Structure 1
Amino acid sequence: MNPTELLLRPATSADLPALERIAARSVHGIGSLPQDPAKLSRRLAHAEQSFQSEDVASGEESYLFLLEHAGRVVGCSGIAASAGFHDRFYSYRNEFMVHGSRGLRVTRRMHTLHLCHDLTGATLLTSFYIEPEYEATVAPELLSRARLLFIRRFADRFAGARIAAEMPGVSDEQGHSPFWSAVGERFFRMSYPEAERVSEGRSKSLIADLMPRTPIYVGLLPPPAQVSIGQLHPVGELPFQILFREGFETDTYVDVFDAGPTVVAHLDQLATVRAARRLAVTSGEPGPAAAWHLVAAGGRASFRATLGLVGPSTTTLRSGAEVARRLGLQSGEEVDVAPLVVATDDEEGAQ
């Protein structure tokens, strides 16, 4: 596969058939893409308005990107500008409580889950999907990380300093979640897939209204539910690893539906953002010292990102004819670039 044949672009209302196909291939636990044409159409219309609006950002914006390979849509990813814009955004926070008895000289450290809305207002990465045949290529890196360049490029549209992403938790092929069965179903009287449909895809407030406000003692849950807390569904492994390498932390929060991990980071601490450069485009081909980079250009509605060879220059980019054509670059235009392979904190410290 030629990496320069990959193109990330904003989704539009005309992409409904492609999004329906993606939603149909998604599994239970990826609730942000419902298998409902009317809801998907509304999602696309909202995204299109978010990209095109010239008004001051309100936090209600929701952006959706599609990844093309040689003109064919092979994946999607999204950004919600402010988690819980209309309602509080709920999660369970992992905590440990210590109980002790002086008389018995015994202390016990108990794992508990506390319903919280700490992440309300954070920028939320959503809707990651890549076709299975592209999972072992560089396509997922572009699909996930180009969103970070978009946030960096249009920072005024994102008020939250923190970025979060919910990873799908453990569930089987029928959508049965051991955590939901042990906790949510006790109060909501619905199966996991039913609850997702009623809440229109992970709406926290509707679920949280019936959840207990007191801590949940993990040791009192059935063993399958205990084991599932913080565990990933197999489809979440790839996007999780990409975000983990970026510097997202994984231990504090879990989802109220299936207890999948919710990862959190500050934008300026992420590897792609720290390594990003803004360069001016010049004509000519990259030199022999060039390395593969993410390259992002354009305004919000015309945003494009691809992979291209970028030299070590700190001021200019010789984009090459193919990248220039794919992104519609003009001489003198500014682009954002970040290395395809970024160093982790451990690797930086060893240098």
Structure 2
Amino acid sequence: MTFRLRAAHIDDLEHLYEMAKLTGGGFTNLPADRAALTKKLERADEAFSKTYEELGDDQFTLVLENTETGQVRGTCQLFSQVGQQWPFYSYRLNTLTQHSRELDRTVRAELLSLTTDLEGCSEVGGLFLHPGERAGGLGLLLARSRYLFVAMHRPRFADRILAELRGVIDDRGGSPFWDGVAGRFFGMTFQEADYFNAINGNQFIADLMPKHPVYVAMLGDEAKKVIGVPHPTGRAAMRMLENEGFSFEGYVDIFDGGPTMTARTDQVRSISQAVPGKLSATDLDIGERALVATGTLGTFRSAYGMREIADDGSVAIDALCAETLGVGEGDEVWSVAR
């Protein structure tokens, strides 16, 4: 089977809705709500239709399509600049050191402080792959194609980029972190708060959450254990982010305590190593395995293939990749080694 990633459009609504029902909760960027998903797709259509090349407040949605069946089997999103419609809240894990001369004792206390430090960053998120397709490197295709999109539309994205990983969710669909921290103030279950956030945004956090730092030592053991820990299904995603140059700098999600990874945009490996080139041939037999992309905004598409870069910067790719992307000699493609 052959897959390509392409721009999502409004007629992908039912595909996204069916996948959203499989996420198991805690997946704010893919709510199982048709109205919310429709708004996302409409916003993406608006972003794809913009002609100016500058940093704005855009959300781009991409989908993974089986080119043989037309089925959509995965999705991911990019946000050009977070915190523009409503504040982008995180907890920052830091340490307060205090010393007593009389006791000759130094005490170091870990604190969770509510912050909007990451406002203005770009974000890669909303990555979900259908459970039936979690093999063959399709998760890597979804994840890294986002960076090719950024490289191909660099003026539309900020100089710093983040990725939020879903935190630990228990067997009941609840969050030990939410129960131990924010849930004490809101009188809402994690599922209720997560759903409300997905549909309405998190301004209610600003309205009701105490602004004082939370001492980690005062939390229950179950909440402590999951601070900055990704959901078991997200551990591979965390490793992929680290391989791209992202790091954990103490920022955690205010709902489930999952880690937020950050990087300088131009230092992300798949962005810094992505290169453009004109196609010189589309019948390559043996070459370097690569991710190859073409198109602009709404016509963006990417797929796996083989490439060979000539001294003059032109690129040869294999016939299957060329067919999947719908490109021919003379067309421009971007690529990065797989």
TM-score range, shorter chain: over 0.9
Q: CA deviation at 1:173?
A: 3.4
For residue 94 of structure 1, give the secondary structure of its aligned residue in structure 2. strand
The residue identity in structure 1 corresponding to 2:279 is V
- 1:210 equivalent to 2:208? Answer yes
Return closer, same or farther for 1:234/1:201 CA change in 2, 3 Å cut-off. Answer: farther
Aligned pairs for 1:263-302 (under 5 A) are 263-286=261-284, 288=286, 290-302=287-299
Aligned equivalent of 1:320: 318
Q: Distance in 1 between matches of 2:236 and 2:75?
A: 14
Match among 21, 37, 58 for residue 18 of structure 2: 21
Whether the 8 Å CA contact 2:290–2:304 is kept in 1: the answer is yes
Q: What is the root-mean-square deviation of aligned Cα atoms in Å? A: 1.6
For residue 148 of structure 2, give the secondary structure of its aligned residue in structure 1. helix
Question: Alignment identity in percent?
Answer: 34
Match among 235, 260, 276 for residue 237 of structure 1: 235
Which stretch of structure 1 is more off in the superposition, 69-78 or 217-226? 69-78
Which string of whole-angstrom CA distances, capped at 9 and with x for unpartnered residues, describes residues 121-170 of structure 1? 10111211012233232111110111111111111212x21110111111
Aligned pairs for 1:305-344 (under 5 A) are 305-314=302-311, 315-340=313-338
Which string of whole-angstrom CA distances, capped at 9 and with x for unpartnered residues, describes residues 5-26 of structure 1? 1200001111111001110101
Match among 236, 259, 262 for residue 261 of structure 1: 259
Whether the 8 Å CA contact 2:64–2:73 is kept in 1: the answer is yes
- 1:303 equivalent to 2:300? Answer yes
The residue identity in structure 1 corresponding to 2:122 is T
Aligned equivalent of 2:101: 102
Aligned equivalent of 1:344: none
Q: Distance in 1 between matches of 2:260 and 2:310?
A: 37
Which string of whole-angstrom CA distances, capped at 9 and with x for unpartnered residues, describes residues 259-301 of structure 1? 100000011111112221111101242253x111000101111
Q: Distance in 1 between matches of 2:53 and 2:322?
A: 31
Aligned pairs for 1:7-18 (under 5 A) are 7-18=4-15
Aligned equivalent of 1:164: 162
Whether the 8 Å CA contact 1:247–1:270 is kept in 2: the answer is yes
Whether the 8 Å CA contact 1:204–1:256 is kept in 2: the answer is no
Q: Distance in 1 between matches of 2:199 and 2:263?
A: 23
Q: Distance in 2 between matches of 1:108 and 1:313?
A: 61
Return closer, same or farther for 1:208/1:162 CA change in 2, 3 Å cut-off. Answer: same
For residue 301 of structure 1, give the secondary structure of its aligned residue in structure 2. helix
Q: CA deviation at 1:197?
A: 1.9
- 1:35 equivalent to 2:32? Answer yes
Which stretch of structure 1 is more off in the superposition, 254-263 or 53-62? 53-62
Q: Distance in 2 between matches of 1:55 and 1:318?
A: 31
Aligned equivalent of 2:90: 91
- 1:141 equivalent to 2:140? Answer yes
Whether the 8 Å CA contact 1:287–1:311 is kept in 2: the answer is no
Aligned equivalent of 1:345: none
Q: Distance in 2 between matches of 1:132 and 1:139?
A: 11
Q: Distance in 2 between matches of 1:287 and 1:58?
A: 40
Which stretch of structure 1 is more off in the superposition, 117-126 or 49-58? 49-58
Whether the 8 Å CA contact 1:285–1:321 is kept in 2: the answer is yes
Return closer, same or farther for 1:32/1:284 CA change in 2, 3 Å cut-off. Answer: closer
Return closer, same or farther for 1:55/1:272 CA change in 2, 3 Å cut-off. Answer: closer
Q: Distance in 2 between matches of 1:23 and 1:284?
A: 37
For residue 152 of structure 1, give the secondary structure of its aligned residue in structure 2. helix
The residue identity in structure 1 corresponding to 2:90 is S
Q: What TM-score do the two structures reach when normalised by structure 2?
A: 0.94
Q: Distance in 1 between matches of 2:75 and 2:113?
A: 32
Q: What TM-score do the two structures reach when normalised by structure 1?
A: 0.91
Return closer, same or farther for 1:263/1:141 CA change in 2, 3 Å cut-off. Answer: same
- Name structure 2 gaps, 5 residues minimum: none
Which string of whole-angstrom CA distances, capped at 9 and with x for unpartnered residues, describes residues 188-241 of structure 1? 111111112222358333213322211111011001101110111123223222
Match among 224, 227, 250 for residue 226 of structure 1: 224
Which stretch of structure 1 is more off in the superposition, 126-135 or 194-203? 194-203
Q: CA deviation at 1:51?
A: 0.8
Whether the 8 Å CA contact 1:199–1:207 is kept in 2: the answer is no
